[in-house]
Each structure stands twice: as structure tokens, then as C-alpha cells.
Amino acid sequence: MVVLKKILIISDGEIGEHFIKRIIETYTSENIYYVVQMKDIKYEDVNPARFKFYQFDPTSLYKLANLLKMEFVQVFIAMDELKDVEHTIKNIRTIKKQLRVVVLNKWDLVNETPNVVLVNSNEIIASRLLDYLPNVPVIAQNVGIGEGEIMEVLVPFGSSFVYRHIGVIEQKNWRIVAMYRNRKLIMPSRRRMIQPNDLLVLVGDPEVLRSVYRAIKRELGQFPEPFGSNLYLYIDMNVVNHTTIEELVRRAVFAHKKFKHDLIIKIVNPSNISIIEHINEYRDENVVIDIDYESEDLVNSYHNDIKEYHIGLVIVSKEIFAKRSMRTMLYESHVPVLKISDQSFSAVKDAVLVLTENRDLEKVSTTIFDISVQMGFNIELHNYISEHQDEKEQVIEHYNNLSTIFTKSIKVIQENDNPIRALKQKENFLQILPFTEKLTKRELYSMFSTDSERHYHKLDSYHQMFIPVQL
């Protein structure tokens, strides 16, 4: 036999009346509702076996005490007058010390009483109105813990997620759990492709979901977002060739002007006063010079800078990137890295991608288009013809789709020869690669690998950009 749970509702006003109507429409058969109202109000389609109505003033302790002789599991108070609410709560507490009371809070009351839940009506209305604003994530309020771990996002036409397969989207600490297309539910699968105006339901850590939301809504012209806001040139004077530092700074300043974000020049192990004085000439409101004279823990200092300055692109020399300890430090910050070579950076016209059997290039595709648009680069995909072509063809299809969206033409070069060898004959370009953990391994180990990404160091004399595959 099911034991019915007794729920007491004390109502006075339009919100209370609307609340009761909603309960009548959605009630559970395991609850029985006792409704106290100041005046007699008739409701339609009421089940008399589940709803009992009383008309009296709940601020009267004598009248309320008679009703509270029953054992209620919960009380709801939705009244228009603050004094009525305060007296009603006081009456309930006089008789039932531990009974849970849920109160509609229209006056920004502060909860000082145990087992009293204040539901702020202003917050709820503002939150609901917020859901209708464009470019603001819709967060589940009454599911889970209600802190943003369930989110609904509409994918715009120019999104970085459009025409990407769900299987190649890095989902760490978050998941795409459902998608809606033309108002129909579609269960996600690895091979499912996201299309413009799809509605995605995401579940995950609230902080991570906020980053994912920004990534989905991001359109071209925003790089280095969503990784960060500013550029960061890292110069270790114990590592970098001093004769190349001034040129390195000029090339970093050129990138800074193209991307139109602030540049932080970080100098560690300072040892050449004349070079530092020259670098200081670039100091202005958009260029910050940060010289570290004392830090003993450079790795920890670097990671603190990434957070403090909200860095979205790190710029280094080829000497720094060649050191395995430095590559590991750069990789662990999950921020794109631009490795500057000795060639002219302003003369670069082409962004070059070498296709491999994995599909990491699809994961970073929109960032590549964004960089290419802002820097005025052409995009070249070099496809080494081999027996494993299916994965590469899907990546090419994805880039062709993005090319149409962003009206940015791409060039696919089919090659029967090793593309690394062919690219060594090219005059100047920027190679763009996914920044994965395998690039932190010792270069010596790549001798036995057929993965072209592991051979990035063979194009060390060219500029290279390394983009993390996850946010």
C-alpha cells in the first residue's frame, strides 16, 4: 500500500494561484495536497481525493495549529505580503520545529531559520529572461545541482563545431549527450556530423562547459580566443642565441599587430643589458615587458603567467622549442605555440598542413582558418597518397565544408612522395600542427616512426604553429 505524502500549500496572490494550477496539471498520485487560501478560489479539473481546500488567515496561530496536527512532509508558502509570510513561518515554527518550509522570496530575505528554503523570485525571473538573450548559454536550473553542469547551446552557422564529426571533438570532463535538429531528437554517435542550427545538450564540469560554449559560439577573427586573450613572447637568455633576439622580438611584434591583442614579452635569466634596453623601446600600452631576475622555479612561474596574463598564444624561438623540457612545459599549458624560425615572418603567404592517418587536424580546423584569415595566409593540405586514405578523405571533406562557410579557398596537394621532403624545397611557409603529447618525446625516437607529425623537427628552419587539440 502506498503511503500518501501530505503537502501543505499556503497561498495568497497570483503567483500562489498559478502554482496551484500547475500542481493540478502535473501532480503525482503519491501526494495529497492541503491548500490554505485567504479567499475562496475555484479551480478546474481538481481531483477531490488529492486536493483539500481551506479558507482562513494562516497568520492566525489558532487556525493554523488545528491543520498542523497532521503530519506534513513539506510546506510551501507563496504570499504577497512580507508580514504575512513572517507571521506564517513563526506560527509553523511554534508548532513544528523541524518541518521543511519552502518560501517564495520576493523581498530578498536572508535565511536565518533552519529547514527554511528561500526561493528568490527575482533571481528566477531574471534567469529565465536571460535564457532568451542571444549568445548566452541556457543552463538547466532544476536538474542536477543547477550550477551549469547541464547546458543547451545552439550551433551558429559560422561556428567552429559546424561540419565536425562528434568522434573527433575532444571531450574531456564534458560530453555531448543529445542533439536536436528540426525539433527532433538525434542521439549522438562518433560518426554523426554537427550541422548549422543544431541544438546541443552538454553535460560536464560547469567551468569546462563555459569554455566549450565560447568555443562553439566563436567565429573567425577571434583568435587567440578561446585559449586566451593575449600574446606572450618567452625569451630565456640562457637558451636563445643573443644575435637573433632582436629579430625574434620584431617578428613577435608583427604577429601582435596582426592579431590586435596585447603582447607580453617575458625575459628570464637576463644577461645582456644592451639587448634588454633595445627590447624596452617596444614598451607601450599594448606591449608589456616582464623581466624575471629572481625566479628559481621557471616552470611554475611560466604557468602562473599563462593564467595571470590570460595568454592565448605563446611565441618562442626554435632553440627553446628544441629543448624537450621546454616542449613539455609548453604542452602542459594547453595554449597554442608559435615557433619562430630565422626566416622572414612577414613574408609568409602559405599555411601548410600535412595530413596523417589520425584526424587531429579536424579538431583544430577552425583555429587554422581563423589564423589564416587574420594573417592573410593561403591554406595548403598536403596529402601523401597511401593505403590508409579513408581518414584523410574525411578530413579533406571537413576542410572543404569549412572553406565554403568561411569563403576561404584551400588547396589540396596530392603527393606520391614524402611530403616532408617535398616541403623542404618550398621557399617560405608556416606549418601548422596539432600539439599532442607525442611531440614532447625525444626527437631521436621519431627515427623509427612513419607519423609525419613526429618529424616536425625536420622542418625546423620554417615557422611552425602548434595548436592544442583540447581546450
| In contact, 156 and 198? CB cutoff 8 Å | no
Lowest mean pLDDT among 2-6, 123-127, 341-345: 2-6
What pLDDT shows up at residue 288? Answer: 93
Instruction: Please tell me which residue, 142 or 47, carries the higher pLDDT value.
Output: 47
DSSP assignment of 301-338, as one string?
HHHHHHHHTTEEEEEEEHHHHHSHHHHHHHHHTT--EE
What pLDDT shows up at residue 1? Answer: 47
Burial of 443 (0-12, 13-18, 19+ CB in 10 A): middle
CA 444, 242, 466, 347 dihedral sign is: negative
Is the pLDDT at 326 greater than 90? The verdict is yes
Euclidean distance between CA atoms 459 and 439, whole angstroms: 14
What residues form DSSP beta bridges with 182? none
Domains 5-125 and 230-333 share a fold: yes
Is the pLDDT at 471 greater than 90? The verdict is no
Euclidean distance between CA atoms 80 and 139, whole angstroms: 28
What pLDDT shows up at residue 177? Answer: 94
Here the contacts of 328-331 (C-beta below 8 Å, separation 24 or greater) are 328/440, 329/299, 329/302, 329/303, 330/435, 330/466, 331/435, 331/437, 331/439, 331/440, 331/468
Is the pLDDT at 389 greater than 80? The verdict is no
- The whole-number average pLDDT for the span 371-399 is 84
Cα distance between the two ends of the chain = 53
The phi and psi torsions of 87 (rounded to 5 degrees) equal: -70, -35
- The whole-number average pLDDT for the span 167-178 is 86
Percent of the chain with pLDDT over 70: 94
Euclidean distance between CA atoms 438 and 450, whole angstroms: 13
Euclidean distance between CA atoms 368 and 374, whole angstroms: 10
Euclidean distance between CA atoms 174 and 205, whole angstroms: 6
CATH of domain 5-125: 3.40.50.720
- The whole-number average pLDDT for the span 424-448 is 86
* pLDDT tens-place string over residues 66-77: 999 999 999 999
Reference 232, options 253, 208, 247, 214; nearest CA is: 253
Percent of the chain with pLDDT over 90: 47
Q: Which amino acid belongs to residue 338?
A: L
Is the pLDDT at 424 greater than 60? The verdict is yes
The phi and psi torsions of 323 (rounded to 5 degrees) equal: -80, 125
Is the pLDDT at 152 greater than 80? The verdict is yes
* pLDDT tens-place string over residues 286-316: 899 999 988 788 999 999 999 999 999 999 9
User: In 333-443, which ranges are continuous DSSP H helix?
Assistant: 360-363, 365-375, 390-405, 419-423
Is the pLDDT at 2 greater than 70? The verdict is no
Burial 207-244 (b: 16+ CB within 10 A, else e): ebbebbbbbbbbebebbbbbbbebbbbbbbbebbeeeb
Burial of 421 (0-12, 13-18, 19+ CB in 10 A): exposed
Is the pLDDT at 387 greater than 70? The verdict is no
What pLDDT shows up at residue 145? Answer: 66
* pLDDT tens-place string over residues 267-291: 999 999 999 999 999 988 789 999 9
Query: H/E element holding 67?
Result: helix 61-67
Q: How many CB atoms lie within 10 A of CB 453?
A: 19
The architecture in CATH of the region 350-468 reads 3-Layer(aba) Sandwich (3.40)
Reference 147, options 108, 217, 105, 204; nearest CA is: 204
DSSP assignment of 279-310, as one string?
HHTT-BTTEEEEEESS-S-HHHHHHHHHHHTT
The phi and psi torsions of 436 (rounded to 5 degrees) equal: -110, 170
Domain topology for 230-333: Rossmann fold (3.40.50)
| In contact, 353 and 382? CB cutoff 8 Å | yes
Instruction: Please tell me which residue, 9 or 364, carries the higher pLDDT value.
Output: 9
Q: What is the dihedral of CA 257, 259, 262, 264, to 10 degrees?
A: -90
Can you give the residue ranges of every domain in the chain? 5-125, 134-217, 230-333, 350-468
- The whole-number average pLDDT for the span 133-142 is 70
What pLDDT shows up at residue 330? Answer: 95
**Pairing verdict, β 74-79 and 138-139:** unpaired
What pLDDT shows up at residue 207? Answer: 75
What pLDDT shows up at residue 349? Answer: 93
Is the pLDDT at 246 greater than 80? The verdict is yes
Is the pLDDT at 30 greater than 80? The verdict is no
What pLDDT shows up at residue 68? Answer: 92
* Mean of the per-residue pLDDT values of the chain: 87
* pLDDT tens-place string over residues 197-240: 899 999 988 877 877 887 787 666 778 887 888 999 999 999 99
| In contact, 155 and 162? CB cutoff 8 Å | yes
Instruction: Classify 134-217 by CATH class.
Output: alpha beta
